[in-house]
Amino acid sequence: MKKLVFCFSACLTMAALAAPSVAPDSVSVAHGPNGDVVKISYALTGEPAVVTVDLQTNALADASGAWVSIGGEATGALGGDANTIVTRMDSASCAYWFPSQTFRNRQIAGGTLRAVVKAWPTNAPPDYMVVNLAAPTNTVRFYETTAQFPGGFTNLDYKTTKLVMRKIPAAGVVWRMGSPDGETGKNSNNDIAHYVKLTEDYYAGIYEVTQSQYFNICGEYHSCTARNYEDSAIRAFNNVQYTKIRGQNKDTKTGYWPENGHTVTVSSVIGILRSKCGIADMDLPTSAQWEYACRAGTGSALPNGMAFSSANLADIAFRASGGPIAVGSKVPNNWGLYDMIGNVMEATLDRGVSGDAYKATFAAGWESGAVTVDPKGSTDVSVIVCDFRGGAWYDDGNYCRSGSRHPQGLEYYDGTHGYKGFRLFCSVKAAVAQRIAP
């Protein structure tokens, strides 16, 4: 093993998006006398950008071969102006690396290290965003891949003290929402097939919100019932109450989507989370956002591209008695989202209307192929039924389909069902706006 030395840092920028950039000759790498803190300096030009930093070394002990990432598991802490939104133009920005204990005596095989810096336009940030729930403010970081997550993607922090979100490429795509005729398990009143287009990309939580994440947001467990297990911290939060999550009032019928948009009460779970991360529309998804994320490019009954059957559900959905299990225990969909089907059914913003009331939310001419743009669900204030998606451990299976909608009534607001949970979403626009001054 060779002592850690530093070569000149290479800088890469997004090739097709040239507005923000980092000049290669502006990048430098330096380390303290003990090698315990590494300073990476660079200058961003053009406009504010999301800047990611990847630490790389030569693959072979003689410092030959291709450069490869040291990976997040070995990175340890990487802070400052790294994996964040940078607004400082034409002057030095600084990132700091605190090597993990993986680097015993600060040694690596090739003896060389470089930092690869990428500038991502704010309208096209990296695929992954991580919100630190344990920090009071300034808690958002961005990563190109899960392999770059500090401490490694399998670290339990990403199911307890951090919220991991995946960018969903939805803008401008026309797709079929609902279930086609003949699909096994289809409910003809709820799963009506029609065409939809979403106009924005958004971030979706890769996991259902866990008990520990819920507690780290608001300091309480509220009505959660699945708590007496060794792995309770990483089990899906269940028995959710809308009045706690968003602050809606079932008696006065106030605070509802879509009349009040993404407005929530400051003391609600989502309100508290917004005060920590600064993301103005962090919220439950609309039903359309949920289904598009679940399908991950598939038009089949299940997000793994298969028809509906118990056998085909086995790898992707937990369905058994006793309550929800640890998130991420099954195979994810094509976009790396876990438990979209099974475990706990997930709340959305939409009211759970059916039949003609549901059809009334579609674009005129939908039966002939007209496209509903950014559907928001019913505006009937007399309806206080939530549109749940994805099915649960409790369900008979028909609800465990991508196109299935499961309207649920008043009891949801009081938290009386242990098979109901939720997942968090936000727009890409709001995710990056939290660090850019107006």
**pLDDT exceeds 50 at position 106:** no
Over range 33-50, report the average pLDDT. Answer: 85
The pLDDT-based confidence of 17 (bands split at 50, 70, 90) is: very low
56 band by pLDDT with thresholds 50, 70 and 90? confident
With cut-offs at 50, 70 and 90, classify the pLDDT of residue 410: low
Handedness of CA 180, 419, 222, 411 (dihedral sign): positive
As a whole number, mean pLDDT of residues 396-422 equals 82
pLDDT for position 114? 85
Which residue type does 181 have? D
pLDDT digits (tens, 9 = 90+) for 63-96: 677 888 888 887 778 889 999 999 988 778 999 9
- Tell me the domain boundaries of the chain: 2-121, 156-433
Q: What is the largest CA-CA distance in the chain?
A: 72
Q: What average pLDDT is seen over the chain?
A: 87
pLDDT of the residue at 414: 66
Candidate CATH numbers 3.30.465.10, 3.90.1580.10, 1.10.565.10, 3.40.50.150; the one for domain 156-433 = 3.90.1580.10
The region of weakest confidence among 19-23, 159-163, 233-237 is: 19-23
Which listed CATH number (2.40.50, 1.10.3470, 2.60.40, 1.10.3210) goes with 2-121? 2.60.40
Res. 196: pLDDT tops 80: yes
Residue 293: the pLDDT is 98
What confidence tier does 37 reach under pLDDT thresholds 50, 70, 90? Answer: confident
pLDDT band at 412 (very low <50, low <70, confident <90, very high): low
Query: What share of the chain in percent tops pLDDT 70?
Result: 89
Average pLDDT of 175-201? Answer: 97
220 has pLDDT over 90: yes
Measured between alpha carbons, how far is 320 from 326 in angstroms, rounded to an integer? 13
pLDDT score, position 280: 95
| Over residues 282-293, mean pLDDT | 98
pLDDT at 104 over 60: no
Q: Sorting pLDDT into bands at 50, 70 and 90, what band is 105? A: very low
